[in-house]
Amino acid sequence: MGVLNVTPDSFSDGGQYFEPARALERAEQLIAEGADILDVGGESTRPGSAEVGAEEEIRRVVPLVAALAGRVSVPLSVDTTKARVAREALAAGAEIINDISGLRFEPALADEAARAGAALVLMHSRGTRETMHTLPPVADALAEVTESLRASVAEAERRGVARTRIAVDPGIGFGKSQEQNVELLARLDLFAAAFPDLPVLVGTSRKRFVGALLGGAPVDERLHGTMATVTAAVLRGAGVVRVHDVRAAVDTVRVADAIKAAGGGV
């Protein structure tokens, strides 16, 4: 899953693809590099980011989705927590909704996915937009993530989303300590076993904990660390990895898949 942020303030690439022409060019580049899915986001969820109203998020995302739907062959995902944005994006041609709140912010988002027959990614996070990155970590991250996402999946199904259309994401970097982020990757096989019939999506790309593990490396120096986490995620059961650096990730996943297929998962 290639990341395409059309925001002025995302932590990694904010402002780079805010202009529509540049966003289209970047989308085509990500596909050429091997992205199987494009994930379009119009609202940053980095620590300290400002909330974006539905009207502005629609203005940023929907025209781009409409333009891409007519010219690319890969599925389009929209990273949003808002039911109204989801409805407009799905009508414009999106096929997946990626909800970092796991339906906690607007449960009606699942109604839109169900109505459109779209896929739905449910990510674990805690608290509000303002607090999700500042809450103290829970004592048992794996148990918290698993139980919370079980509730999210149940709510999605209750609202009509087919289970075969749901994926789960443990929410690396959202309200977890550095140690817990590493632990969740190391124990991802246990998380995956709790949802044996659902794809697991993992997003570690360029995140702060990777920089911390590398001695404080800035965002633009976290590529190799990110690819190490991608390898670990694949070996431990991730079916989708969400990344900014698609070309590097494609090569990394290809090798990790070969190792896993040969029985070399760690």
> What residues are labeled active site?
207, 242
- Whole-number Cα distances in Å, 235 to 157, 194, 214, 232: 29, 16, 21, 5
The per-residue b/e assignment along 182-200, b for 16 or more CB within 10 angstroms, e otherwise, is bebbebbeebbebbeebbb
Q: Which amino acid is at 242?
A: R
3-state secondary structure 12-51: CCCCCCCCHHHHHHHHHHHHHCCCCCEEEECCCCCCCCCC
What is the residue-wise DSSP string for 142-211? HHHHHHHHHHHHHHHHHTT--GGGEEEE--TTSS--HHHHHHHHHTHHHHHHHSTTS-BEE--TT-HHHH
Q: For residues 159 and 264, give the distance between their C-alpha atoms in angstroms, rounded to a whole number.
A: 40
